[in-house]
Amino acid sequence: MNRPLTAFALAVALVAPAVARKPVPAKAKPAAAAPKTYFPPEPPPAPPQLHGIQYLYGSAEAAALTRQTWRMLADYVDEQMATGTHRGVVLTPDSTLTNPHFVPCGDKPPAIVLDVDETSILNLGAEYDDLMANRRVFDDEAWDRWEKNGAAYVAPTPGAKEALDRLRDHGVTVIFNSNRGAVNAAGAEAALNAAGLGPAKHGETLFLSGDDDKGSFKDGRRRTIAAKYCVLAMAGDQLVDFSDLFTTEPNGVAARRATVAYSGIADLWGAGWFVMPNPVYGSGLQGGPDDIFPKDKQWRDPGPPKPAAPEPQPAITPKKAK
């Protein structure tokens, strides 16, 4: 099954740029006096367009980062309950990103609200199929078949099951809010249950696109949930998993990055709002070099210094004849 990739890698090698990497031990030569340790061989060169997939679905670093985020979410929620703080994190309709207000908790039971795809579960089967099918665009019909039939081919994100089991033991209701279609609710329930993250029951602990007339906007569903529960934390891989207000902000690399640092919400990241990594798809993947790299950071390597020009030799003048 590697042949397609190999052929493909060869083709790509002609045009694909590598990306700068600082030296890491995987490529370092241990000094003679270094302790005897196994050094992994240099990873085989891979087509750089695999990097996002290699990182999210294959790297130990992403697994540790995801585990870390679930652990911190669970610790945060446990502490909120221990101290009786109970701060809701769903924005009220009159909120702005610079002046957010939260739906009050009152004596509503505690809950957390989680996005599904690439937040609670990894869509391994769909990504494998997409890669091997060498698709160039998102295929809505293939994704619809995935929503219906993919349950056996997903996995929980690392650390998700431990965190959800722990919070459920502590009396927290786990609610999923996804843009999968309500028409495929059975498939979504099956995927979450197969990943060991259930129970997920449509209309009770699972909310989907089509549950209201707001399409992919999630605020309406968030408020439906917040009317019944004290939402202590939310998790997602996209900004719109936290508030639809992000869609009203200017698009573009610099503008989007500035938005998450607004004084009103900068302190919510890691304290009620928890982001999961996703370099594979989504609204964040946009822009070319001039969008991504600020003008004043566009360094160009001058290359090695030029060798100094040789000293000019004085011309030899013939002696005058006496």
| Angstrom distance (rounded) from CA 58 to CA 291 | 28
User: CB 230 → a copy of itself: shortest distance, Å?
Assistant: 21
CB 198, min distance to a copy of itself, A? 19
3-state secondary structure of 181: strand
108 or 161, CB closer to a copy of itself?
161
Q: Output 203 or 293, the one with its CB closest to a copy of itself.
A: 293
Taking the complex as a whole, the smallest distance from the CB of residue 257 to a copy of itself amounts, in Å, to 5
Cβ distance to a copy of itself smaller for residue 17 or 312? 17
Closest to a copy of itself by CB, 125 vs 198, is 125
Query: Given the complex with a copy of itself, which of 34 and 227 has the nearer CB atom?
Result: 34
Beta carbon nearer to a copy of itself, 59 or 108: 59
In the chain, % helix, strand, coil (3-state, to 5) comes to 40, 10, 50
Q: Tell me how far, at minimum, the Cβ of 177 lies from a copy of itself, in Å.
A: 13
Q: Tell me the C-alpha distance between 93 and 100, whole Å.
A: 9
The distance of closest approach from Cβ of residue 88 to a copy of itself in the complex, given in angstroms and rounded to an integer, is 19
Smallest gap from residue 225 Cβ to a copy of itself (A): 18
Q: Which of 231, 239, 170 is nearest to 205 (CA)?
A: 231
The CA distance from 227 to 248, in Å, is: 24
Question: What does the radius of gyration of the chain's CA atoms come to, in whole angstroms?
Answer: 27
| Residue corresponding to tokens 């997602």 | 236
Give the strand pairing for 155-156 and 121-122: antiparallel
β-bridge pairing 230-236 and 110-114: parallel
Task: Return d(Cα 226, Cα 245) in angstroms, integer.
Answer: 17
Cα-Cα-Cα-Cα torsion 262, 68, 88, 97, nearest 10 degrees, comes to 10
